[in-house]
């Protein structure tokens, strides 16, 4: 991924690049001399922004057919038509196997219908691509609990709780960084 994050501190203008390096702009006073603390703040903010962009749903890159089957599946599910919903989810997944959220939705559908083996398979596939998903980990814990595998359920629940705490801490850190940037990096010309 190629990106550049401009950092303006005082009269010096610098760019934090995607490879983690810092470049000063030619002719900028101070030759790009940004304090290491400001650089770390900019790096963390850039990482949070880029990480958030990478976590966006993949629906913009999927075929229209897969998306229409996915939407039909959701409509069937809301209407309580679980067999039709499952059929449409599977069609969407066949058309676009990269749509991991379909695996998660199938797992929820299978848990609701007490098809725990299928739910476990779907969650395994989803967690392979998204090992930090606290929701998927909690659902895997629910499956194991219903299967009376209490040790595995506890493991999943604890892992889910740990990731949930880390995500909440990231939100807190991001808010603190944004507040710091507002005070350190004046917006505008």
What confidence tens digit (pLDDT) does each residue in 87-114 have? 999 999 999 998 899 999 999 999 999 9
Instruction: Tell me if 187 is assigned to some domain.
Output: no
* 51 shares its domain with 65: no
| Long-range contacts at 110-115 (CB < 8 A, ≥ 24 apart) | 110/86, 111/139, 111/142, 111/143, 111/146, 112/82, 113/82, 114/146
Residue 161: the pLDDT is 87
* 65 shares its domain with 52: no
* 49 shares its domain with 68: no
Closest CA to 70 of 42, 32, 98, 35: 98
**Total number of domains constituting the chain:** 2
* 17 shares its domain with 71: no
Partner residues linked to 24 by β-bridges: 14
* 52 shares its domain with 68: no
* 118 shares its domain with 145: yes
Q: What separation in angstroms does the CA of 27 have from each of 16, 20, 30, 35?
A: 17, 22, 9, 18
* 87 shares its domain with 46: no
Residue 58: the pLDDT is 44
* 74 shares its domain with 108: yes
Instruction: Tell me if 151 is assigned to some domain.
Output: yes
Q: What separation in angstroms does the CA of 3 have from each of 6, 21, 46, 57, 71?
A: 10, 11, 9, 20, 33
Residue 164: the pLDDT is 75
Residue 116: the pLDDT is 96
What confidence tens digit (pLDDT) does each residue in 116-125 have? 999 999 999 9
* 156 shares its domain with 66: yes
Residue 175: the pLDDT is 67
* 97 shares its domain with 11: no
Which stretches in the chain have pLDDT values below 50? 1-34, 39, 41-62
Query: Residue 47's domain spans which residues?
Result: 4-56
Q: What is the DSSP string of 44-74?
A: HHHHHHHHHHHTS-GGGGS-HHHHHHHHHHH
160 CB-contact burial (10 Å; exposed 0-12 / middle 13-18 / buried 19+): buried
Residue 132: the pLDDT is 87
CATH classification of the domain holding 67: 1.25.40.10
* 42 shares its domain with 114: no
* 73 shares its domain with 117: yes
């Amino acid at each position: 991924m190629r990106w550049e994050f401009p950092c303006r501190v005082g009269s010096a203008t610098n760019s934090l690049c995607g490879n983690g390096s810092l470049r000063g702009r030619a002719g900028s006073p101070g030759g790009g001399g940004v304090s290491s603390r400001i650089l770390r703040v900019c790096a963390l903010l850039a990482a949070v922004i880029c990480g958030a962009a990478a976590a966006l749903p993949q629906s913009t890159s999927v075929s229209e057919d897969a998306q229409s089957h996915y939407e039909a599946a959701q409509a069937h599910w809301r209407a309580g038509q679980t067999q039709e919903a499952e059929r449409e989810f599977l069609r969407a997944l066949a058309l676009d196997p990269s749509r991991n959220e379909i695996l998660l939705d199938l797992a929820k559908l299978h848990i609701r219908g007490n098809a725990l083996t299928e739910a476990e398979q779907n969650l395994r596939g989803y967690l392979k691509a998204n090992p930090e998903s606290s929701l998927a980990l909690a659902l895997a814990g629910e499956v194991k609990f219903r299967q009376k595998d209490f040790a595995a359920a506890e493991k999943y629940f604890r892992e889910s709780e740990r990731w949930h705490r880390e995500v909440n801490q990231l939100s807190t850190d991001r808010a603190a960084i944004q507040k710091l940037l507002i005070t350190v990096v004046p917006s505008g010309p």
